[in-house]
């Protein structure tokens, strides 16, 4: 029996996420749980989700501060959702075809700041680049 292979993920949705995430200081991308996942040092700040468990969504999942997940979902349930597994820890799922680049970049930058080490956050304030 042949091992299950992860398909090459390409297309505009992942290119958008990569462009934004790669602008963050010390951002790295690795495959995690079969999806492109973005780290600052060893902490995840964004995970691409391509039709995760056949949910029909092309999305990115990001960590969020307490209360933000509920607020975003209440304000725009067609765009934001509680992702499986990490949603119980406050992460937010974002449907990529329902959000503009500037808002997406702002949310991803905030997620990076949430998990980046303090020294990197303060040193990197000037290094945060617009994607």
Summarised one tens digit per residue, pLDDT across range 6-48 is: 344 667 899 999 999 999 999 999 998 888 999 999 999 999 9
Summarised one tens digit per residue, pLDDT across range 105-116 is: 999 999 999 999
Closest CA to 104 of 114, 94, 116: 94
Domain assignments of the chain as residue spans, ordered by start: 12-118
CA distances from 108 to 66, 103, 115 (A): 16, 9, 11
**CATH 3.40.50.150 fits domain 12-118:** no
């Amino acid at each position: 029996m042949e091992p299950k292979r992860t398909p090459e993920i390409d297309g505009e949705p992942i290119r958008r996420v990569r462009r934004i995430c790669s602008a963050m200081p010390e951002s790295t991308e690795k495959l995690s749980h079969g999806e492109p996942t973005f780290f600052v040092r060893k902490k995840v700040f964004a995970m691409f989700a391509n039709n995760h468990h056949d949910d029909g969504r092309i999305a990115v999942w990001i960590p969020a501060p307490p209360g933000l997940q509920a607020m975003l979902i209440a304000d725009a349930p067609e765009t934001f959702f509680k992702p499986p597994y990490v949603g119980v820890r406050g992460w937010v799922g974002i449907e990529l075809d329902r959000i503009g680049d500037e808002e997406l970049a702002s949310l991803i930058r905030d997620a990076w700041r949430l998990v980046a080490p303090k020294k990197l956050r303060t040193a990197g304030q000037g290094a945060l680049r617009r994607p």
